[in-house]
Homo-oligomer: A and B are copies of this chain.
């Protein structure tokens, strides 16, 4: 949940005077996204989400994120279109922070995805990948494989505090991932954070993706691996192969994987688990008393890492070695 910065009625009215979307009728902080402050904004003209970008997002990256959302919506993908003000800008400023207004998308996210939801997620991800083709801007994945060793260096003590012996295990993982990581897979725009709370469904079908504030250019298979980790593990820590097959099948309905991509999935999933383990470990250590957001448990992704490590050591999960 997140509302870090408050906006008064006066500030809102002055801000909206620059837009052609009518007068505000409803304005409520909402618990959506963990990096930014989000508000439900209704006006005489429509329904919107107003986002204030907090310090966790680099302002220089915002034109990429907002430009991508605009591009995707223009290319038929169901993501929220940023609303331009009277000067035609989609990146604004409010209360000393960068801000954006995007259209409101209805839909419910799911907590415990069924097979149907996993299949829908896969289809939505492939749709996103194909809709993003041709997007002219480029943002390297600053949380990608090349960054992990540097991210972990200051966190060794935190890892040991979490679980004795973990620092050595992670360092061995990082060396293995660096050695095994494929660097020539099909790549393009990826969401990089398509967790269940960032996907809306309507009547069981994929309806929209939100929160593009980790989007970047990287391997499509890596994005798929992020989803496999986020959607296909059971609450007890077991990897649900049937869910994974449904997710992959949904993906391949829209964009068939190359043999190289399919072969790469085990190491991609291992690496995707590493990326979320590392940021959760960093957030865990950095949480301040009184903070309005509870950090997520890094041990969840430590367990997912262990599953993929063991699968690799035993020759890769059977799932990823055969065509579904």
Query: Which A residues are within 8 Å of any B CB, using their own CB?
Result: 1, 3, 8-10, 12, 24-32, 40, 42, 106-112, 202, 287, 289-292, 294
Contacts and interface: CB of A to CB of B under 8 A. Distances in A.
B106 A10 contact: no
Contact of A290 (B10, B29, B290): B290
Contacts of A10: 111-112
A26 B294 CA distance: 24
Contact of A108 (B24, B108, B290): B24
A112 B13 CA distance: 13
Nearest to A32: B28
A108 B26 contact: yes
A14 B291 CA distance: 33
B292 A106 contact: no
A107 B25 contact: yes
A288 to B, nearest CB: 8
A169 to B, nearest CB: 28
B31 A30 contact: yes
A287 to B, nearest CB: 7
A292 B3 CA distance: 10
A28 B33 CA distance: 11
A25 B106 contact: yes
A109 B10 CA distance: 11
Given A106-B42, A290-B291, A111 B25 contact: no
A31 B112 CA distance: 24
A112 B8 CA distance: 8
Contacts of A291: 290
Nearest to A28: B30
Contacts of A109: 9
A202 B111 CA distance: 36
A30 B2 CA distance: 10
Nearest to A42: B106
Which residue among A9, A24, A287, A289 has the maximum number of chain B CB atoms within 10 Å of its CB? A9
Contact of A1 (B3, B32, B294): B3
A155 B29 CA distance: 33
Contact of A40 (B27, B30, B292): B30
A293 to B, nearest CB: 8
Contacts of A110: 8-9
A108 B40 contact: no
Contacts of A26: 106-108
Nearest to A25: B106
28 contacts: A1-B1, A1-B31, A8-B110, A8-B112, A9-B108, A9-B110, A9-B111, A9-B112, A10-B112, A24-B108, A25-B107, A25-B202, A26-B108, A27-B108, A28-B30, A28-B32, A29-B30, A30-B30, A30-B40, A31-B31, A40-B40, A42-B106, A287-B290, A289-B290, A290-B291, A290-B294, A292-B292, A292-B294
